[in-house]
Chains A and B, each alone.
Chain A
Amino acid sequence: MKFLCVACDEAMKLQDAMPAEDPGTLAVVYCCPECDRQMAMLTNPWETQLVQSLGVKIGPGAESESTGCPFAGAVQGLQSAETESLSTSETTSPPASAEVTAEGALVWTPAALARLERIPEFVRPMARQGIEHWARDHGWPQVTEEVLEAARGGMGL
Chain B
Amino acid sequence: MKRYSEIAGDGGSDILGQVIEQRRAQAASLAGVGHLVAIASGKGGVGKSTLTLVLGLALRQRGRRVAILDCDLNGPCQAQLAGLQEVPWHLSEEGLGVPRRADGLGVLSLGGVLAAEQPMPLDSVAQGDAHTWRATREMAMLSQLITATSWGELDLLLVDLPPGSERTLHHLGVLGARTSVVLVTLPSALATGVVSRSLGALRAAGHEPLGYLENMAGYYCRDCGEVRSLFPEAPRSLDLPCLGSIPFDPEWAERGDRGWPPLGEERDPALEAVGHAAEALLASLAHRESPEEEDPR
A-side residues, CB < 8 A to B, are 1-4, 6, 9-15, 17, 23-24, 30, 45-46, 48-60, 62-63, 78, 80, 112, 115-116, 118-120, 122-123, 125-127, 129-131, 133-134, 148, 151-152, 154-157
Contact with A along B105-123 (1 / 0, CB 8 A): 0000010111000000111
- Given A2-B7, A123-B145, residue A156 in contact with residue B101 (CB < 8 A): yes
Which residue of chain B is the closest to A30 with respect to CB atoms? B11
- Given A120-B144, A156-B82, residue A13 in contact with residue B12 (CB < 8 A): yes
| Complex: A152 Cα to B134 Cα, angstroms | 33
With contacts A63-B12, A157-B83 known, what are 15 further pairs, Cβ within 8 A? A13-B11, A46-B129, A50-B136, A55-B140, A55-B143, A56-B19, A62-B12, A120-B144, A120-B145, A120-B148, A125-B121, A152-B92, A155-B102, A156-B100, A156-B101
Other-chain residue from A6, A49, A60 in contact with B133 (beta carbon distance below 8 A): A49
Contacts of A155 in B (CB 8 A): 84, 87, 99-102
> Are B144's CB and A112's CB within 8 A?
no
> Are B259's CB and A156's CB within 8 A?
yes
- Given A1-B10, A122-B141, residue A130 in contact with residue B88 (CB < 8 A): yes
Residues of B within 8 A of A (CB-CB), count: 63
Min C-beta distance of A81 to chain B, whole Å: 9
> Are B132's CB and A49's CB within 8 A?
yes
Contacts of A15 in B (CB 8 A): 12
In the complex, B90 has a CB within 8 A of chain A:
yes
